[in-house]
Amino acid sequence: MMSGMQTMPELRRHYFLDEYCIIAAERGRRPTNFRRDEAKPGDEAACPFCPGNEGMTPPSDAVYAGRGVLSDGAERVSGWQMRVFPNAFPAMVSSPEPVNRVVTGEWTALPGQGYHEVIVDSPRHRENPADFSQEHMERLIRVYRDRYLHYSESSLAKYISIFKNWGREAGASFSHSHSQLITLPIIPPQIKMELDAFRRTSFCPFCNIVEKEAGSSRLVGEDDDWILIAPFYSLVPFETWILPKRHFSSLGEMSDAESRSLAALLMQALRGMKSVLNDPPYNLMIFQLPSGYHLNIRIQPAVSRIAGFEKGTGIRINSIAPEYAAAKLSESAKSDGRSPKS
């Protein structure tokens, strides 16, 4: 019997944090169908993100149309390509009711002060981000950069989180493609730990990842400015990271050429995931700070359950080795024929 064809589970330590994940890949059992739940047909009429339904959302702060960046007045702007407005059910608000900073003298509570906005990133209800044109993805990256720069001026924003949830299982409440931005009055603990690790080394840990992973079996793709990898420390099956080869902290520091090549590599990542995993739900997260950091983008298919072991230990079990994921994703880019560099 060859049923003993299982690779040894491995505890893999994070590149530079004291965190672990378990890679427990079973050779004969490698699921590659992670299809997300699809929206029911005919739900456009009730979709607040669809053109014509702008009145169902709060007025826009920024409407990106061919004729420039506009904002809603008494009349809502139509004919847009992307539309940015405050989330109707925000996690953070700009003027919260005053709360006591310290509730009991023992435990801390801070006002949830900040901004939470929705970026409707396609005017087409059924458009899959993996099918965006290069031009449209370039536009989305410009919008991410614009909104990041806008909030980086605010004293309320210590941290700006930009992310995209695709599919209900990934947390999206609407099937119409959109991204979100939430500002926080604190630096999240995860980022704080990363910054502490930066201080302990004489080099940038992310520059080190770029250098080492570029020559590894986990490299999925690259162009002149960016690399796409299935990271050594992968928390979920087919997780990918995109890192700039040049050391810089935020989208605000990106050149126009870097912005265009990022769009191309991001499209390769999304197309690869859609084709290899049959359009899975996923979370896409942009990690950035105004300075002293190395921008990175992480894409995690939302396909594994967080259950008792994960909650009890903080350690995730990933059933797909990143080396296998990288091979599958590169193969798909080659057959796709649109890989920036093959």
Site residues (vs Zn ion, CB under 5 A): 47, 49-50, 125, 176, 204, 206-207, 247, 294
Enumerate the β-bridge partners of residue 164.
Answer: 284
Q: Are 310 and 215 in contact (CB under 8 A)?
A: no
Count of beta carbons in the 10 Å neighbourhood of residue 250: 20
- For residue 151, the minimal CB distance to Zn ion (Å) is 23
- For residue 247, the minimal CB distance to Zn ion (Å) is 3
Distance separating alpha carbons of residues 22 and 235, to the nearest angstrom:
8
Phi-psi map region of 52: left, alpha, beta (phi>0 left; psi -120 to 50 alpha)? left
Distance separating alpha carbons of residues 200 and 180, to the nearest angstrom:
33
Q: Is 63 helix (H, G, I), strand (E, B) or coil?
A: strand
CA 323 to chain centre: 21
- For residue 198, the minimal CB distance to Zn ion (Å) is 9
- For residue 304, the minimal CB distance to Zn ion (Å) is 28
Distance separating alpha carbons of residues 229 and 219, to the nearest angstrom:
5
- For residue 102, the minimal CB distance to Zn ion (Å) is 37
Nearest to Zn ion of 197, 204 (CB atom): 204
- For residue 122, the minimal CB distance to Zn ion (Å) is 9
- The DSSP bridge pattern shows strands 226-229 and 240-244 to be antiparallel
Express the helix, strand and coil content of the chain in percent, nearest 5 each.
Answer: 30, 20, 50
Nearest to Zn ion of 289, 303 (CB atom): 289
Q: What is the dihedral of CA 99, 104, 109, 111, to 10 degrees?
A: 10
Nearest to Zn ion of 218, 294 (CB atom): 294
Nearest to Zn ion of 14, 247 (CB atom): 247
Q: Are 119 and 84 in contact (CB under 8 A)?
A: yes
Enumerate the β-bridge partners of residue 23.
Answer: 10, 318
- For residue 68, the minimal CB distance to Zn ion (Å) is 23
Count of beta carbons in the 10 Å neighbourhood of residue 128: 14
Nearest to Zn ion of 151, 206 (CB atom): 206
- For residue 207, the minimal CB distance to Zn ion (Å) is 3
Nearest to Zn ion of 142, 176 (CB atom): 176
Q: Is 103 helix (H, G, I), strand (E, B) or coil?
A: coil
Tell me the H-state helices in 112-188: 134-152
- For residue 321, the minimal CB distance to Zn ion (Å) is 26
34 backbone dihedrals φ, ψ, rounded to 5°: -120, 35
Nearest to Zn ion of 204, 219 (CB atom): 204
Nearest to Zn ion of 115, 166 (CB atom): 166
- Of 133, 199, 125, 167, which Cα lies nearest the Cα of 279? 167
Nearest to Zn ion of 49, 159 (CB atom): 49
- Name, in order, each residue with C-beta under 8 angstroms of 89's C-beta and a sequence gap of 6 or more: none
